[in-house]
Amino acid sequence: MAELIQRSALELADAIARGETTSVEVTQAHLDRIAAVDEAVHAFLHVDADGALRAAREADERRSAGQPASALDGVPVAVKDVLATKGMPTTCGSRILQGWMPPYDATVVARLRAAGLPILGKTNMDEFAMGSSTEHSAYGPTHNPWDLERIPGGSGGGSSAAVAAYEAPLAIGTDTGGSIRQPAAVTGTIGVKPTYGGVSRYGLVALASSLDQAGPCTRTVADAAALHEIIGGHDPRDSTSIDRPLPALREAVANADLSGVRVGVVKELGGEGYQTGVRARFDEAVKLVTDAGAEVVEVSCPHFEYGLGAYYLILPSEASSNLAKFDAMRYGLRVLPDDVDSPSAEQVMTATREAGFGDEVKRRIILGTYALSSGYYDAYYGQAQKVRTLISRDFETAFAQVDVLVSPTAPTTAFRIGEKLDDPLAMYLNDIATIPANLAGVPGISVPSGLADEDGLPAGLQVLAPATADDRLYRVGAVVESLLEAQWGGPLLAQAPELGGRR
Ligand code: GLN
């Protein structure tokens, strides 16, 4: 069993196809792993053993009839608790949605089911995807499998930790400012934020609608490509969905080659504020890419330094509006004020939002409401939108010179649980390198770049490509992965300490 959970998703699919194992066996192995280690990791908010095994039995029946539904039929997956799942709780890591059972599946979830992937459960996250550490979850933090005293990144720390701890071969995350890529970097896994509009947002509980994008969390670049192909593509239920086919992603991995590829190192992402070991691993990876035949140049994106400021006006503005729907009338929690006899709807709303939302959510609602208020709108929200345009233009200029851009994914490795909890600005700085991609809608991947010398913890390399050229992420990501794994003698995760001796 132990060796089943260590295999990649595509290896598992292959083993199932050859009749060497079954989806039921693979799914059960992961459920056993969850039972063994999730008390320590806390990657899951909800585990659906019955539902997953039922889907696994159906997958096995399709396989024996010679009719697999997809390349990953029968391979289990974990889903971030921000995506609506019919008949399974969806809390967004918030008390305000405790007990809410969506009456429908998000498109991403529906596509996973249609492709035959058993859903193991829902993963932990910062409340409403606000955060970089998963500490803002109302249900307690997730722990980094590399060091249980440290954060797994956020907001999708649960998805990345589940994959890093071998509790799931695949997971779905969402990335509004870095919540797939940064957790991938600090857990030594792969995370992809697709092009905005490349994966449907239908049924994804909105944080900031113009930035949110769901994507794969995996242990190999090839697995991410396979999962991306399953969840991606046009959806008429999402008006921002791109109405054209995805590029061939698995093919990009299969034909990965860097000769003649022009790679731009973003000058503004990587200097001051970046941990020495993170920079060292990044520089070495860039050297490898150069040796592999890529043309590497430095590229300047002068407005990226204003990205964080613009993001923390645009995101709270959109969030304050999106979260207005949690009014105690429609979903989840309803709290009656104890000091009023027959409370008005407004009083119930106030009491519910006071009790149901955590501090970070309240902070951002206040910020966003302020930034959108008449009198300040032009000075804050309007200015931020202008900066957003300048950042998009930086990308356009850069992509006129190079095929992809690279940078460290996050400025530091995983910090200790509690270390930045009382310092929102320090927390926000984790996203400095990932946010520009969300503001411009371009795709990005994080692949492990190695362990920082200072603390022996994983760091990530980020690759960014022009909108709809997601295949370039996979081409470059796959080469970086294979060159580095050749140096390490195997995947970086093989160097992680054992969890409870069960691996
Ligand atoms: N950490 C960022 C934030 O707090 C990103 C969140 C995300 O991508 N969902 O907003």
Q: What is the DSSP string of 286-306?
A: HHHHHHTT-EEEEE--GGGGG
Q: How far is the CA of 212 from the centre of ligand 1 (A)?
A: 9
pLDDT at 40 over 90: yes
The pLDDT-based confidence of 331 (bands split at 50, 70, 90) is: confident
Residue 178 CA: which ligand 1 atom is closest? 8
Q: Is 16 helix (H, G, I), strand (E, B) or coil?
A: helix
Mutate to test the pocket of ligand 1, among 123, 155, 172 (most ligand atoms within 8 A of CB): 155
Mean pLDDT of the chain: 96
The protein residue with its alpha carbon nearest to ligand 1, atom 5, reads 177
The protein residue with its alpha carbon nearest to ligand 1, atom 10, reads 130
**Residues 124-168: tens digit of each pLDDT:** 999 999 999 999 999 999 999 999 999 999 999 999 999 999 999
**Separation CA 179–CA 124 (nearest Å):** 12
**Separation CA 463–CA 472 (nearest Å):** 9
**Residues 69-121: tens digit of each pLDDT:** 999 999 999 999 999 999 999 999 999 999 899 999 999 999 999 999 999 99
Residue 211 CA: which ligand 1 atom is closest? 8
Would you name the residues annotated as active-site residues? 80, 155, 179
**Residues 442-496: tens digit of each pLDDT:** 999 999 999 999 999 999 999 999 999 999 999 999 999 999 999 999 999 999 9
Q: What is the pLDDT of residue 502?
A: 38
Provide the percentage of residues in the chain whose pLDDT is more than 70.
99
Q: What is the pLDDT of residue 503?
A: 37
Q: What is the pLDDT of residue 2?
A: 64
Domain at 2-303+389-495: CATH architecture: Alpha-Beta Complex (3.90)
pLDDT at 66 over 90: yes
Q: What is the pLDDT of residue 11?
A: 98
The pLDDT-based confidence of 332 (bands split at 50, 70, 90) is: confident
Q: How far is the CA of 315 from the centre of ligand 1 (A)?
A: 9
Q: Quick count: other Cβ atoms within 10 Å of Cβ 396?
A: 12
Residue 430 CA: which ligand 1 atom is closest? 1
pLDDT at 501 over 70: no
Q: Which residues have CB under 6 Å of ligand 1?
A: 129-132, 154-155, 175-179, 207, 315, 431
Q: What is the pLDDT of residue 279?
A: 98
**Residues 411-426: tens digit of each pLDDT:** 999 999 999 999 999 9
Residue 207 CA: which ligand 1 atom is closest? 9
**Separation CA 367–CA 381 (nearest Å):** 11
* Average pLDDT over every residue of 7-36: 98
The protein residue with its alpha carbon nearest to ligand 1, atom 4, reads 131
The pLDDT-based confidence of 500 (bands split at 50, 70, 90) is: low
Q: How far is the CA of 489 from the centre of ligand 1 (A)?
A: 34
Q: How far is the CA of 499 from the centre of ligand 1 (A)?
A: 28
Per-domain residue ranges of the chain: 2-303+389-495
Q: How far is the CA of 434 from the centre of ligand 1 (A)?
A: 9
**Separation CA 310–CA 392 (nearest Å):** 12
Q: What is the pLDDT of residue 142?
A: 98
**Residues 362-376: tens digit of each pLDDT:** 999 999 999 999 999
Nearest to 235 by CA among 227, 224, 225, 246: 246
